Amino acid sequence: MSERVPTPAAPPIKLSSPETKEFWEIPVVFEDEHLLGISKPARLLTSPDRYDPNRPNLIKLLHTGVAQGKPWARARGLTYLSNAHRLDFETTGVLLLAKNKPALVQLANLFGSEWGPSANDRRHVISALLYVYPLQDLTVGASCDRCGAPLSGSPIVKTLSDEHGHFVLENVPAGTDIPIVVQLGKWRRVTTIPMVAPCQENVLTDKDLTRLPRKRSEGDMPKIAVTLGACDQISCMLPKVGIDSSEFGVAGQDRAVTFYSTPSQSGLAGATSATGRGASTCAAALTPSPAPAGR
């Protein structure tokens, strides 16, 4: 029988703060491929102090060690560490850290302005916004969706925007690359917030983070059928909403927006739009028309 060779222990986690001339050796109490459990020493902040960001804190010291490729980080192959909970300054105890983004979301779940496709188009509607993982597929085609139905993906925190598109999310897990989902009906887009600082207000100034998708490669979009009439130029309005011109097409093409005209009509004089259940009825009675050029 061959003798089992024990796996060498990873180097202990050693941290230092040259500015304050302090040093800590952090015991590891649990570790697997997704989580790292460490024993936080007393009199060390878990996260940055909003009033004194230069005070040493455990998360910043760990991130610095990972970025610098310290022996303890290299031996574990660490490229990501984030906390989903905190311990007070005076407190010692176990702090659980996630080694990847999906683990962070699941861990945080255990602990417990919205824009249209165009970044210049504020939606005056109430829409759901949440942090979730993983998302379930939306129903393609006509469906009878109900307001107040459970949201997909076991949301950690969620909220609704007001009539001006403003929203506030409370108790968001601190860390980097936090997933955020903006959804309005069958419009849904997933992005990530680069950094959420703990214990302070994080204002999202980048409109691109909270807008709806312009095309299906950016997220989910509903199927829209547009019939061409002789009055309103709705075919010229859709590009201004922010829908990318690559999503315009005619019957037989795999596009989000399909244009139709009756046999007696020609050209693109105007249009009336239909979505959901009415779209399939409209499509069956009409013939394809050339797609309009985006403006």
Over residues 137-193, the pLDDT tens digits come to 888 777 777 666 666 766 777 777 766 677 778 778 788 888 888 888 888 998 888
Would you give the DSSP letter of residue 141?
S
Pairing, β 257-261 against β 270-275? unpaired
Q: What is the pLDDT of residues 17-66, one digit of tens each?
A: 998 999 999 999 889 999 999 999 988 998 887 778 789 999 999 999 99
Burial (Cβ within 10 Å: 0-12, 13-18, ≥19) of residue 151:
middle
Whole-number Cα distances in Å, 221 to 133, 188, 239, 247: 19, 7, 15, 10
What's the one-letter identity of residue 103?
A: A
81-90, 116-125, 244-253 — which one is most confidently predicted on average? 244-253
Average pLDDT, the chain: 75
Query: How many beta carbons lie within 10 A of that of residue 110, not counting itself?
Result: 10
Is the bond preceding 117 in cis, omega lying within 30 degrees of 0?
no
Q: What domains, with CATH codes, occur in the chain?
A: 13-107 (3.30.2350.10), 113-221 (no CATH), 224-288 (no CATH)
Q: Which structure tokens are listed for 168? A: 């506030």
Contact 188, 182 (CB under 8 A): yes
Q: Does position 67 have pLDDT exceeding 80, yes or no?
A: yes
Q: How high is the pLDDT of residue 74?
A: 93
